[in-house]
Amino acid sequence: MKHQRIVLALAAASVISSLAMPAFAAATPSPASPAKPAQTPSKAVKKYTIEQFFATTRISGASFSADEKRILFSSDTSGVFNAYAIDAAGGKPMALTQSTTDTTFGVSYFPDDDRILYTRDKGGDENNHLFVREADGTEKDLTPGDKLKASFAGWRPDGTAFYVTTNERDPKFFDFYRYDAKTYARTLLFKNENGMDVEDISRDEKWIALGKTNTSLDSDIYLYDVAKAEMKHITPHTGAVKANAQTFDPASGKLFFLTDEGSEFARLKTYELATGTIKEHEKADWDIGYTYYSRDGRYRVTGINADGSVVIKVVEGAAETPVALPKLPGGAIRGVTFSKNSQRMAFYVNGDRSPNNLYVYDFKAKQLKQLTQSLSKDVNPADLVEAEVVRFKSFDGMVIPSIFLKPHGASATNKVPAIVYVHGGPGGQTTRGYSSGMQYLANNGYAVLGINNRGSSGYGKTFFAADDKKHGREPLWDCIEAKTYLASLGYIDPERIAIMGGSYGGYMTLAAMAFRPEAFKVGVDIFGVSNWLRTLESIPPYWESFRKALYQEVGDPVADREFLTATSPLFHAKEIRKPLIVIQGANDPRVIKSESDDIVAAVKGNGVPVEYVVFPDEGHGFTKPKNNMEANRKIVEFLDKHLKGQ
């Protein structure tokens, strides 16, 4: 169950600039000391058209068919994300859904036949419903209704039922249901009236692990006894400690969970259900991000967030013998999925110069097969840029880790413009891996610094907490120091540096334009917050379980009204005097369109050049290739005009 939620989360992150901007992928950890990017010899590089560059296909997700001969995944090759099946031996993918308007993500094959589950929303409104595609191709909405959000939550091990969360009863909270795999009749297993998050269910269906978010730095785990309808708190603590349930073991004897108690980073522990004994199970020098078992319980997969890179480890059996994973050039393994009997493993390989490609590995035959080729056939990977992990000291000495793309040909005699690229959040992270947007900027001669300003995740809980109630101030000042760092490299033109970001990164762009108007020459705001008061008051109702955490992180719209007014760019828009481009999805439920409408109107009133691009069929991101291409086209045209002066 945990595994399925991870797959869906990765799918969303890879195609939507949600609360985190497009991710990079795994790399060798860098030293903790500040560093400059390595100088690379200049080379002739081909400049690609926007059409050539964005002919790249975005794909995500993986689920084996009952006979293990096919793999279900999602692709935007048709112009809209749909569900596809591909033969595990290779071949051309076959479309299983044919939506022409609404984003559709394949979730899972049924364990014993060719039916599939998939999710779909309307125009990016994020109100996903769960559908089934029957063997004859007909479709059925398993979660009908208006203004509800539903998610697949895993299979019962014997395949006779699956689990679903939905907020149809109360928009604020998600209840937990079991659906019969044949009749789709459902049974309520947990009625959520306390703002809990369902995190896993034991294989014997006796226990449900629930998460309770207190603040962005503090959370708890509760165990719910399904038969007795009783709840037990299993992570009592003092101070701010984060604890998150991951998975029950195959024997339903213990719960694996992550906690940062007594540590800067999340470690993996176990809770014995019979005795309540807690033991440390696994730790790393970085955050352990997740762990889950294969369907048959043979393998356990762990993901580690190692300095902006994803490191996957797989162990086998009760002895947890390490499994040697295939070594692949040009990228790192992500999104591991096992077949029903664990004879085969599907996974993605993603690198700085290579987008997601789906592979399958046969353990018995020790054979590896690449199933997809996602990069545009017109693009030579050698013309793309390998990312580097760099660090610089900010105004107060705090070391700021970042991901850097240096365009080919940049040198002391050929200085290039640069962009400080701010991720979403608060609390997101820019990591290594393929980003079509960043690579397109680099291909057009722009250096890109993906800054992980204070408050970013992945670098310890002290660093993560360093931005609380300081937004628009200290995290912004990190971005100002990033400009100083770029100027020190010797091949960046200090007079041609922009700031860019989406969601929270869009807010940081607007904050820089309003509060430090002298710092950056231009700003690129992608669905950014301009008025914190309105955004915090208009968040979707299903965010209720972590509303308190959001208020603790950013500010309470009632108690902290004066502070939020002082740090909202809209109320200080008269200070904005540099060119700005704003991009917005009309159906965005997180940062509503009014946020962009108002800042655009205010900046235009200053007589400042401002461009406004609205996509009527998008939400909090660009899921449709044509919109993704148009957004990036507009951004580069804007930068060429106002940053390069072309």
572-584 pLDDT, tens per residue? 999 999 999 999 9
* Secondary structure E strands in 273-424: 278-282, 287-293, 299-305, 310-316, 321-322, 332-338, 344-351, 354-362, 367-370, 388-393, 399-405, 416-422
DSSP string, 274-315: TT--EEEEE--SSEEEEEEE-TTSSEEEEEEE-SSSEEEEEE
In angstroms, the Cα distances linking 27 to 306, 371, 430, 442, 449 are 8, 23, 13, 19, 16
**Residue 34 pLDDT level (bands cut at 50, 70, 90):** very low
**Mean pLDDT of the 357-386 span:** 95
HSE (side-chain half, CA atoms, 13 Å) at 494: 11
Q: Which residue has the higher pLDDT, 40 or 643?
A: 643
8-29 pLDDT, tens per residue? 222 222 222 322 222 222 232 3
CB 216 within 8 A of CB 549: yes
Three-state secondary structure readout of 242-263: CEEEEEECCCCCEEEEEECCCC
pLDDT at 428 over 60: yes
pLDDT score of 120: 97
What are φ and ψ of residue 404, in 5° steps? -125, 135
HSE (side-chain half, CA atoms, 13 Å) at 464: 21
39-48, 54-63, 182-191, 574-583: segment of lowest average pLDDT: 39-48
242-246, 377-381, 540-544, 627-631: segment of lowest average pLDDT: 540-544
pLDDT score of 37: 61
**Mean pLDDT of the 552-572 span:** 96
Q: Tell whether the torsion through CA atoms of 630, 634, 636 and 640 is positive or negative.
A: positive
**Residue 82 pLDDT level (bands cut at 50, 70, 90):** very high
**Residue 546 pLDDT level (bands cut at 50, 70, 90):** confident
**Mean pLDDT of the 22-42 span:** 39
**Mean pLDDT of the 198-207 span:** 98
Nearest Cα neighbor of 590 from 522, 534, 535, 521 is 535
What are φ and ψ of residue 594, in 5° steps? -60, -30
pLDDT score of 17: 30
Hey, what amino acid is at 248? F
**Mean pLDDT of the 610-632 span:** 96
276-286 pLDDT, tens per residue? 999 999 999 99
**Residue 36 pLDDT level (bands cut at 50, 70, 90):** low
pLDDT score of 390: 98
Under DSSP, the state recorded for 411 is: B
pLDDT score of 38: 54
pLDDT at 405 over 70: yes
- pTM: predicted TM-score of the whole model, two decimal places: 0.92
Q: What angle do CA 12, 15, 19 make, to 5 degrees?
A: 60
**Mean pLDDT of the 291-319 span:** 97
What is the distance between the alpha carbons of residues 339 and 69, in angstroms, rounded to a whole number?
10
Sort strands 207-215 and 218-225 into parallel, antiparallel or unpaired.
antiparallel
Hey, what amino acid is at 605? G
| Token pair in block for residue 277 | 């004994």
Alpha-carbon 26 to chain mean position? 14
pLDDT at 329 over 70: yes
